[in-house]
Amino acid sequence: MNDAAILQHVVADVEYFLTQSDEGADLSEIEDCVRDVTRKLGRLFLQEKLDRRVAASADGYRGNTVVAPDGRRARFERYEARDLMSYFGGVKLRRAYYWVAGADEHGGYAPLDVELGLNRHEETPALQRGLNALGVEAPFAKAERLLHELVRITIAPRTIAEVTEDCGGQVRGETSERVTTAWKVFEGPTYGEVKQKRAWRRGERRVSTDAYAPWAAANAPSVLYVQCDGGRLNTKREGWKEPKVAVLFSDNDRMAISKDRGELIRKEYVATMEPIERFQQLVWEAGLRWGAYKAMKIVVLGDGAEGFQKRLEELYPEALQILDWYHAAEHLWEVGRELYGVGTSETERWVKPFLDTLRAGGVENVIALLEELRPTRTESAEKVEELIGYYKSNRGRMSYDKYEAAGYFIGSGAVESAVKNVVNIRMKGCGMKWDHDRADRLLSSRARYLSSATPMLDTAMRKAA
């Protein structure tokens, strides 16, 4: 269609729209009419721009034979039309179609599809981004209703699910390539060995080894925080399983909202349903992009869970390990409630001095006082023994007076929030049960989507990986 014909269409549609009577219509009805005509015009413009793009590319014809993405030869067979769905409605794409010898009925290949960024889905790339944004934020049936209300098109929940999960699979695939490279660095020189080889003086940036060259552009935070925790998801075949979540941020990424409340303005989430060994590798790769090997200090904050603690100690043997203050305090409150009752003044009078002593760095004094207790009830005695064991196993991570004096955070609220935001809000709705792989793909997509920073995820880093 030439420019004159397009203008004629536009003028006709606009004139028809303006001549329609709005008598008796409310503003909502008027605005819906405007949306309908702008969608119609947008569809016209998109189809025309697509047709011109195809014509400029010789209709996707690349010779009698081409090499398909899987490496096999494909021969030109015909020109074939493909229906696509966009934000403005349906458009058509007609391009050269090639056939891969020995392939099944879906073994065709259109080079122009690849050049245009199309995949197996009929939705345009821009619409797929929108479907993924809806799919990671809301249940798929709800996403369908939101989409229709916002842009006046209808996409089935199953299609939204497939697009969202495929986006997660793509994120997972890209991440896997980078992790393979990153883990080779870990298996070669360990973090501690690399640190010993560095030469640096006060006021200078630390120098990386050649093995860390792909991450040389990473910033060198003065303090890098790494926090890990597990959640719970109900799966179809295995029952309740643990999704593993990490959050990374630097000391300059927290903004005070009020006296007792802050917000991370820059952070990255890592989430997976895979075993902890794989989770450890994912955290390592993310840490490299955050400048972990150059950081002046790495702080690992957690609730004392042995699995996460051990893996992070392996990654960062020289990191400062801190037991989350709120877990340490809550365990003490649990014992107080067991001894003196829930919500009683006796419980508060018993707990508060212990908390003050803990906060002042007196974990050894607290342990000694707890060991002097002789509860008469078996249940109470067991609770006290559990608390003593918990404090003893974490005593080296409870110097809260020193941590606060140095300006370190002592609470793992960031990862508690991460589990809630990445997992619970979206994936623990009433009656939800997940296929293990689908859950992992959605977690990958949601973690990337909710992260407010993913350092070095640019073209150069992908090539290096």
Q: pLDDT per residue over 270-288, tens digit each?
A: 999 999 999 999 999 999 9
Beta-carbon contacts of residue 181 (< 8 Å; ≥ 6 apart) = 214, 464, 465
Residues 356-380: pLDDT tens digits? 999 999 999 999 999 998 887 888 8
**How far is 117 from 124, CA to CA, in rounded Å?**
9
Determine the pLDDT at residue 259.
Answer: 62
**How far is 172 from 446, CA to CA, in rounded Å?**
11
Residue 322 dihedral angles phi and psi, to the nearest 5°: -125, 130
Determine the pLDDT at residue 459.
Answer: 40
Paired strand residues for 255 = 263
Determine the pLDDT at residue 3.
Answer: 81
In this structure, are strands 65-67 and 73-86 parallel, antiparallel, or unpaired? antiparallel
Residue ranges, the chain, pLDDT below 70: 105-106, 187-209, 258-260, 458-465
Sheet order of strands, 268-272 included = 268-272, 244-250, 223-230, 297-302, 320-323
**How far is 405 from 402, CA to CA, in rounded Å?**
5
In this structure, are strands 254-258 and 261-264 parallel, antiparallel, or unpaired? antiparallel
**How far is 443 from 23, CA to CA, in rounded Å?**
50
Beta-carbon contacts of residue 205 (< 8 Å; ≥ 6 apart) = 220, 294
In this structure, are strands 223-230 and 320-323 parallel, antiparallel, or unpaired? unpaired
Exposure of 52 by Cβ count < 10 A (0-12 exposed, 13-18 middle, 19+ buried)? exposed
Query: pTM of the prediction?
Result: 0.85
**Listed residue (272, 270, 247, 279) closest to 183, CA to CA:** 279
Determine the pLDDT at residue 198.
Answer: 45
Determine the pLDDT at residue 375.
Answer: 83
User: Is residue 224 within 8 Å of residue 297, measured between CB atoms?
Assistant: yes
Determine the pLDDT at residue 203.
Answer: 36
Exposure of 337 by Cβ count < 10 A (0-12 exposed, 13-18 middle, 19+ buried)? middle
Beta strands in 47-88 (DSSP E): 65-67, 73-86
Determine the pLDDT at residue 218.
Answer: 86
